Every structure is written in structure tokens, then in C-alpha cells.
Structure 1
């Protein structure tokens, strides 16, 4: 499936881009996605350890859960303030 990954704040800085489009397997988990987007980028890998995610605007926390059919995953590092 084709998936748009949108990066915010520290994740955007570490990724070096606002967003990217990837082809991922239909049975990919959140952990699989993290491995793909952090490949060859240790800075992003460190940021992803602290991130939360939105799958088509719905929170996704368990890295072992399959993404399922979706279009967008937002990568949200912890934000200061409120």
C-alpha cells in the first residue's frame, strides 16, 4: 500500500523533510514502518523511540499492531508546553 508519512517538530528535523510517500506491505506493523523510515538515519531512529503516531487521525501506540489499510501516518514527537 502507498502511505504518506508526515513528520512534525523534532521528527521533521531528523528526517530532513515534512513528508514522504512510501510503499509498505499490507501486513506491515508500526514497528516495521519505524524500521523502514529510520533506516540509515540514526538521528531519526532516536527520535522515533519517543514518538506517538496517528494513523489516519487515530492514535496508534502499539508497535506490534498492523497498520491496516490507511493513507497517512503522522509522526509526533513529544511537544513542550500545552
Structure 2
């Protein structure tokens, strides 16, 4: 699946986009755990980020993501 990071998530990840190889569906929680497993700063952002799956906000961390999905990681935004 293709993962795109925005704003502070991109900064924490060190990249704006990466690929996550999966042969089967994974949950949002599993993906977040894997992406943050060796990047502590990113793990903190992922804990509070909104995850979009093919342009739609994931309703829960137990929702499944298809291997072909486009996943966007949006950190909380401040301002008004």
C-alpha cells in the first residue's frame, strides 16, 4: 500500500511517501504499529493522527486496509 504523510507527520517520518508491503489486509492499528516501530517520533504522531483510507477517514483503529489502498496520515492541525 502507498502511505502519504502530511505536515508534521512527514517531518516525523522523514519522508513524504513510502510503500508498505502487505499480502493481505491489515488493521489501522497494525499499520500504525509497524510504521512507528523503529521511529519513536513518528509513533507519537501516529497515535493522534487521522488516517484516511482511499480518501475516507478510518472510523476506528480496527478497520481493515486493503494491500492496494492509498493511506494518508494527517496530524492534528492547529489554528483557525
Mapping of 1:45-60 within 5 angstroms?
A: 45-60=43-58
Q: What is aligned with 1:13?
A: 11
Corresponding residue to 1:35 among 33, 36, 39? 33
The alpha carbon displacement at 1:10 in A equals: 0.8
Structure 2, unaligned stretches of length 5 or more?
none
Provide the alpha-carbon RMSD of the alignment.
Answer: 1.4
Structure 1, unaligned stretches of length 5 or more?
none
The size of the alignment, in residue pairs, is 80
Task: Give TM-score, length-normalised by structure 1.
Answer: 0.88
CA contact (8 A) 1:56 1:70 kept: no
Q: 1:64 and 2:62 equivalent?
A: yes
Greater mean alpha carbon deviation, residues 33-42 or residues 23-32: 23-32
Task: Give TM-score, length-normalised by structure 2.
Answer: 0.90
